[in-house]
A and B are shown apart, each in its own frame.
Chain A
């Protein structure tokens, strides 16, 4: 019988299609906003995890900062020693060249260095960091010996260099270097983006680096990240392990991503407000519906319907309205998530929990919105209801 009352409610809604659609709209918008916000943030998170290689197994080793704020050098033995730790899959080092500036030409004053640092890099840097070249090539064993430079993404933009041509040069620490490549942004090591990279042999011969690395990047087996991290200080600098700083950039990024989700709270709040307004809309339309259908209520009472059955019918209609709105909203939210993910080049992730919660909220709203109109309908005296035409 309840099922038939529900069916009757459904038929009633089908008669007033436009009104039904408009009544559902508020709830639909609210649920769509909530599902889309949850979906987009889940998609972004999935994208980030994909960027991190899912495992987040990149570790960096530094020696902290010298008294002037520039990176302090690590021992020459640090990199080969770290490479010998069994779970380490790959390792590469960069060396900060103190005092070196990079300018477009010698005519640019030395103070306008644009904050670009000069780093000595090994040919294997991109493999370990998971970076890639936007234009040109990276350093190799040959170009590492010559005054050739690869620019990080931010550094290239700062210098106004977008193309790599044979005659593209920059003025680096007193002489011209040929630009052989430009990198794409490296999310795991943003310091690379703001650097001009030269080979270690050149850094030693022309810039006086002395071969000392200042930062070592390594990838460990994903399930061995913590044990490797714990032995790194002793391996990198046995006499002064406390001077060594080990960090896990992927965890920093993950934390930053979590911080970004603070905004999702705001949007979820807006979604809740929309659902609330939608619920009030449904309650309003149900009250009107009860007034309009007094004759029908009277008829049903005359045909033997109890108060409860009449009330249930209106409650069921309210539930159907909000359920429809919830379904439409969840579908729209999922579609928005998918659209955004395609647009942003991210994997589309629609959290099932978000959909379920959205539908649940919609149904609870429907019950709350329907209780008062249903009670009004149930309380209507049959004879009085029948007099209404």
Chain B
């Protein structure tokens, strides 16, 4: 079976004196419907791993394959297309646009794919329904609770039905009740084959995933199934 995400010997260092090695020869495979928690102390390279896996950042070395396609050689516009079609992102800060309502924010996830505005809107409404916010369609981020905002962001990430959802500390700004809802939602995405990779400090999140990858100093030091 082809991996949804495959990192091979990926390295990334940031300039400085001495250069900061964020990733040192990391290899990782994530398959469809897999739920992976990436944990580790601050500065261990988790976020960089997520950025490289999400083609937001190019590795200095190594190969990144998304859905079997090697993206290392793609031009910038090609990477944009990969992100728009194959990857959904969820961020700790939600990154919702304040002047747009929930439907518009979610529809933004399809904007750069093209297609008809009406179809995008319909898909956005369906995605919001899926995250349980059918009653909040016209609300702006300022009128929503933190948990609701993150659910809008999750709807935006899945509105294009990507094969891979990458989440960076999705519960970091939420209280435990709202966080639990978000965890349940993200964990549930695997039901239709979506692979979910979550970078987190939150043990509750890690516990809800099938597989746990532990990083330290830019390397994967542990990778195994979560035992329940």
Task: Please indicate the chain A residues that have their CB under 8 angstroms from the CB of B99 in the complex.
Answer: 11-12, 14-15
Could you tell me the distance in whole angstroms from the C-beta of B73 to the nearest C-beta in chain A? Answer: 17
Q: Is the CB of A304 within 8 A of B57?
A: no
Residue of A nearest to B55 (CB): A382
User: Of the candidates A299, A304, A389, which one forms a contact with B84 in the assembled complex, judged by CB atoms under 8 Å apart?
Assistant: A304
A298 to B95: give the CA distance in the assembly, Å: 9
Complex Cα distance, B98 from A11, in Å, reads 11
A300 to B77, CA, bound (A): 13
Q: Number of A interface residues, CB 8 Å? A: 25
B76 contacts A304, CB within 8 Å? no
Interface residues of B in 84-114 (CB under 8 A from A): 84-85, 89, 91, 93, 95, 97-100, 108-109, 111-114
A303 touches B112 (CB 8 A): yes
Which B residues are in CB contact (< 8 Å) with A307? Answer: 76-77, 80
A309 an interface residue at 8 Å Cβ cutoff? yes
Docked Cα-Cα span, A14 to B98, in Å, equals 12
B47 to chain A, nearest CB (A): 8
Q: Contacts A295-B95, A386-B91; is A305 near B57 (CB within 8 Å)?
A: no
Q: Which residues of A contact B83 (CB under 8 A)?
A: 301-304
Contact A304–B85 (Cβ < 8 Å)? yes
What's the Cα separation between A374 and B145 when bound, in Å?
33
A1 and B114: CB pair below 8 A? yes
Rounded to whole angstroms, the CA-CA distance of A24 and B156 in the bound complex is: 34
Whether, in the assembled complex, A204 has its beta carbon less than 8 Å from a beta carbon of chain B, the answer is no
Is the pair A304, B93 in contact by a Cβ cutoff of 8 Å? no
| CB-defined contacts of A4 to chain B, threshold 8 Å | 111, 117
Q: Say whether B56 contacts A304, CB under 8 Å.
A: no
Is A383 part of the binding interface, using a Cβ–Cβ cutoff of 8 Å?
yes
Cβ of B207 within 8 Å of any chain A Cβ, yes or no, is no
Contacts known (A305-B112, A306-B80, A307-B76); A299 close to B95, Cβ less than 8 A: yes
Q: Are B95 and A305 in contact (CB under 8 A)?
A: no
Chain B, interface size category, equals 20 to 34
- Assess A304 versus B97: contact at CB under 8 Å? Given A382-B57, A386-B91: no
How far does the Cβ of A182 sit from chain B's closest Cβ, in whole Å? 68
Chain A residues in 8 Å Cβ range of B51 = 383, 386
Contact of B97 among A296, A308, A382, A389 (CB under 8 A): A296
Contact residues of A between 285 and 324, Cβ < 8 Å to B = 295-296, 298-309
Q: Is the interface of A mostly helix, strand, loop or mixed?
A: helix
Question: What is the chain A residue whose CB lies nearest that of B153?
Answer: A299
Chain B residues near A301: list those with CB within 8 A: 56, 80, 83
Q: Known: A303-B108, A303-B112. Is A381-B95 also a contact (CB below 8 A)? A: no
Answer yes or no: B54 CB below 8 A from chain A CBs.
Answer: yes
Q: Which residues from B are CB-within-8-Å of A309?
A: 112
Instruction: Tell which of A11, A299, A381 touches B57, judged by Cβ atoms closer than 8 Å.
Output: A381
B89 nearest CB neighbor, chain A only: A302
Interface centre among B89, B97, B108 (most CB of A within 10 A): B97
Chain A stretch 51-109: residues in CB contact (< 8 A) with chain B: none
Tell me whether A389 and B93 are in contact (CB under 8 A): yes
- Known: A299-B95, A303-B112. Contact between A386 and B76, CB under 8 A? no
Q: Which residue of A lies closest to B81 (CB)?
A: A304
Contact present for B98 and A15 (CB under 8 Å) = yes
28 A–B pairs (Cβ distance < 8 Å), ordered by A: A4-B111, A4-B117, A15-B99, A295-B95, A296-B95, A298-B95, A299-B91, A300-B108, A300-B112, A301-B83, A302-B56, A302-B89, A303-B83, A303-B84, A303-B109, A303-B156, A304-B80, A304-B81, A304-B111, A304-B112, A305-B80, A305-B112, A306-B77, A306-B80, A309-B112, A381-B57, A383-B56, A386-B56
Closest 10 CB pairs of A and B: A304-B84, A304-B112, A383-B57, A383-B51, A383-B56, A15-B99, A299-B95, A382-B56, A306-B80, A302-B89
Knowing that A303-B111, A383-B51 are A-B contacts, what are 17 other residue pairs whose CB atoms are under 8 Å apart, sorted by A's residue number? A1-B112, A11-B99, A12-B99, A15-B99, A299-B91, A299-B95, A301-B83, A302-B83, A303-B83, A303-B108, A303-B112, A303-B156, A304-B80, A304-B83, A304-B113, A307-B77, A389-B93
